[in-house]
Amino acid sequence: MMERMSKLQQKLKETNASWAFITSTANVFYFSNFYSNPHERLLAIVVFPNDEPFLICPEMDVNQAKQAGWAYTIISYDDVHHPWHMLRNELNRRNVQTERIGIETSHMTVSRLEQLQSCFSHASFFDLTNTLHELRMTKDEKELQTLRQAAELADFGVDVGVRSIKEGKTELEIIATIEYELKKKGVRTMAFDTMVLVGTNSAHPHGVPGMNRIQAGDFVLFDLGIVLDGYCSDITRTVVFGQPTEEQKRIYNTVLQAQQAAIHACQIGASIGSIDKAARSRIEREGYGAYFPHRIGHGLGIDVHEYPSMNATNTMPLQAGMVFTIEPGIYVPSVGGVRIEDDVYMTGRGPLLLTTYPKELQII
């Protein structure tokens, strides 16, 4: 954590910032190892270029913050006291001259910004979002190990789901089985709402599971992820219940080949856009370009969707330490949808797949 804080402090020096106001749950966790959802209450880390940071948090969370390893000052408050006054008092106690404040504009609400402007009316504000994105974009060895373990649990979740497929079962029944078995493994939180989509419901990239029952000939799409020690996994697999049609086979094989092409294109220095294009061109060649409506993937870490965006126009070169998803899909309303998604870690030698559940077409 100290190394992460030092990197941010260096960035603050380079931008002549007085201090940074870190408020998103994910970034507070990144710099403190303390994960808390404060709801409407203020949770923030104040970081200075040349002084020790301090944490502002509700009184009820102080012990958890200490247990997580926060070793600096904690400014705590209850539901009666005003945390903004306490923030200003601590800065005054330290004789801090506040001229330029870095904030997370992508996270901060208008009302929070107005509070800051009221407390520090002579200060200017600038956005730290891109700086924080860049710091979190490459993962260290400890983060990688956590992400690898989270991916293993995602593999397990898909395996449970596939094994529980039976004619007449509903999407929600299968989800219940998956999440029950994951909780028995110690998983407290899913990375997002688990998706099991059957039949034509699988043709919606972000479909809503319900009481749809599995029937012969259905695609069954699984999209799930778990949170382990603050880090997310994200996997998608698609299988067929009963004998597939020739079109279903063609759709599936096209998606699989597109994913393989994208993974093969993942080399240090290659542009992110070229990864998307490698998959998209394969899908377009088979005549399904209009049925692939989303980017090839997204960054993965503390947030299930984080920097960088793996889209066709992104010219950023791939770097060692990046973790992201590769997830092409084809969604034909009258047939159903296929998506195959893996979590990928970029090594200096190329891509390493963290998710390993089999991808050849499974006929259940």
DSSP-assigned states of every residue in 284-324 = HHTT-GGG--S-SEEE-SSSSSEEEEE-TT--PBP-TTBEE
Contact 156, 184 (CB under 8 A): no
- Same domain (yes/no): 51, 172: no
- Is the bond preceding residue 308 a cis peptide, omega within 30 degrees? yes
Domain end: 137, 152, 173, which one?
A: 137
**Would you call 284 exposed, middle or buried from its count of C-beta atoms within 10 A (0-12, 13-18, 19+)?**
middle
pLDDT per residue rounded down to tens, the chain (364 residues): 789 999 999 999 999 999 999 999 999 999 999 999 989 999 999 999 999 999 999 999 999 999 999 999 999 999 998 899 999 999 999 999 999 999 999 999 999 999 999 999 999 999 999 999 999 999 999 999 999 999 999 999 999 999 999 999 999 999 999 999 999 999 999 999 999 999 999 999 999 999 999 999 999 999 999 999 999 999 999 999 999 999 999 999 999 999 999 999 999 999 999 999 999 999 999 999 999 999 999 999 999 999 999 999 999 999 999 999 999 999 999 999 999 999 999 999 999 999 999 999 999 9
Whether residue 203 is found in the same domain as residue 90: no
Q: Are residues 250 and 102 in the same domain?
A: no
**Rounded CA separation 264/346 (Å):** 12
Total domains in the fold of the chain: 2
pLDDT of res. 169: 98
Q: Is 236 a member of any domain?
A: yes
Q: List residues bridging with 218 in a β-sheet.
A: 241
Buried b (16+ CB within 10 A) or exposed e, 172-197: ebbbebbbebbeeeebeebbbebbbb
Domain co-membership, 176 together with 102? no
Same domain, yes or no: 131 and 147 = no
- The reply to whether 146 and 133 lie within a common domain is no
Final residue belonging to a domain, choices 137, 167, 187: 137
Q: Residues 308, 323, 255, CA angle at the centre, nearest 5°?
A: 85
- Nearest CA-CA partner of 202 in 249, 237, 159: 237
**CA-closest candidate to residue 221, choices 200, 250, 204, 198:** 198
Altogether, the residues listed in the chain come to a count of 364
**What's this model's pTM, rounded to 2 decimal places?**
0.95
Domain shared by 124 and 223, yes or no: no
CATH classification at residue 305: 3.90.230.10
Say if 128 falls within a structural domain: yes
Tell me: do 128 and 211 sit in the same domain.
no
Is 363 a domain residue?
no
Kindly give, in sequence order, each residue whose CB lies less than 8 Å from that of residue 148, ignoring residues fewer than 6 positions away. Answer: 345, 354
Residue 58 confidence (pLDDT): 96
Task: Tell whether 300 is covered by a domain.
Answer: yes
For residue 153, what pLDDT is reported?
A: 99
Domain assignment of residue 309, given as a range: 141-353
- Residue at a domain's end among 137, 161, 196: 137
